Structure 1
Amino acid sequence: MEKRGHPRARRAGQSDSVATVATELRFAVMRLRRRLARERHPDNDLSVSSMAVLYALNRYGDLTVGALAAREQVQPPSMTRTVTALVDAGLVERCAHPSDGRQVVVRVTDEGRAVVGADLTRRDRWLSRRLEELSAEERDVLRRAAPILQRLAEAD
């Protein structure tokens, strides 16, 4: 049994260093995600899934339910339920697809953008304070790691 992480963290053909990095990175990212979740705006009682949809629409613009489901890696029926709840809350709206009359797109409303803005401001403020505590070299490492982590998050 390995000293760190789950004994199955090492897969056949992986070196100990790759398995160790995988375990340590997974642990660190999960803890940071939980910590950032605690920094949510106090008036925000939306689920993590609902916030992810608002963030996606705010960042990428109007999307179909299918595109949202694929982006968030959930099944379309689950995304339909999330979108319906957000519509009911006035945070998103369903609109006609610009080129396919059989589809609809989901669009974030001004109220939804305000929720995202308040949430981003609060979390970014917390993270900025933590980053100020690091050395310039440590911040540079994280700046260079951010696109790599994004690529990992979006990989199949």
Structure 2
Amino acid sequence: MSAPADACRTGDAPELTRLAATLEQVSSWVRRSSPPAEWNLVALSTLDSLDRSGPQRVSDLVARESISQPGMTGLVARLATAGLVTRSPDPTDGRATLVSLTDAGRDYIRERHRLRAETVVTHLRALSAAERRALLAAVPALGRLADQATEPPPESE
């Protein structure tokens, strides 16, 4: 039985729905409270993906970011012009292109993370010690959720 069906069967679907809605609110709040960036969210997510996962094919970035191939190709070209990524032939398939983060791209995305963390930490400090402990206890599960959510979607059968 699938996880959603199990959730409904065991009666925790309302709690999971509330958790999902709260995670969405937190995600939106973090995005809105982040200092302005010269790059849009897809560009920042692409840079982040390259930082976390290493070089990737354009087609894999398309799947991960859920945008069109021409859209990602144009974005990669703009990021390359800015010196944040490089493009090279995929050694396993000369028809494909591998996109890699440059040192400047790595510095840029890590600075974005630092600035965002500063903003969030300010708000975390306003919570009670018990609330901070509860959030810290959830970090491993949230990390697994984020890792799972950033994997390319499974192929349709």
Fold in common (TM above 0.5): yes
Amino acid at match of 1:88: T
Match of 2:138 among 125, 138, 142: 142
Q: Which residue is 2:64 aligned to?
A: 71
Name the SS of the counterpart of 1:90 in structure 2. Answer: coil
Scaled by the length of structure 1, what TM-score is found? 0.74
**How far did 1:87 drift?**
2.2
In the TM superposition, 1:1-156 aligns within 5 A as 14-15=8-9, 17-42=11-36, 44-132=37-125, 133=127, 134-135=129-130, 137-150=133-146, 153=149, 154=151, 156=154
Structure 1: 5+ residue stretches without partners: 1-9
Scaled by the length of structure 2, what TM-score is found? 0.74
Q: Compare relative contact order (CA 8 Å, sep 6+) and give the higher one, 1 or 2.
A: 2
1:4-50 alpha-carbon deviations (Å, 9 max, x no partner): xxxxxx98x925944323431232122111211123334x2211000
Contact 1:39 1:126 in 2 (8 A): yes
CA–CA distance in 2 between the matches of 1:124 and 1:97? 34
Q: Percent identity?
A: 27
1:87-143 alpha-carbon deviations (Å, 9 max, x no partner): 233321211223332222111122222220111001122233333434253134322
Which structure has greater strand proportion?
2
CA–CA distance in 1 between the matches of 2:48 and 2:86? 14
CA–CA distance in 1 between the matches of 2:14 and 2:38? 36
CA–CA distance in 1 between the matches of 2:33 and 2:56? 27
Contact 2:58 2:96 in 1 (8 A): no
Contact 1:41 1:118 in 2 (8 A): no
CA–CA distance in 2 between the matches of 1:15 and 1:117? 42
Structure 2: 5+ residue stretches without partners: none
Distance 1:49 1:91, change over 3 A: same
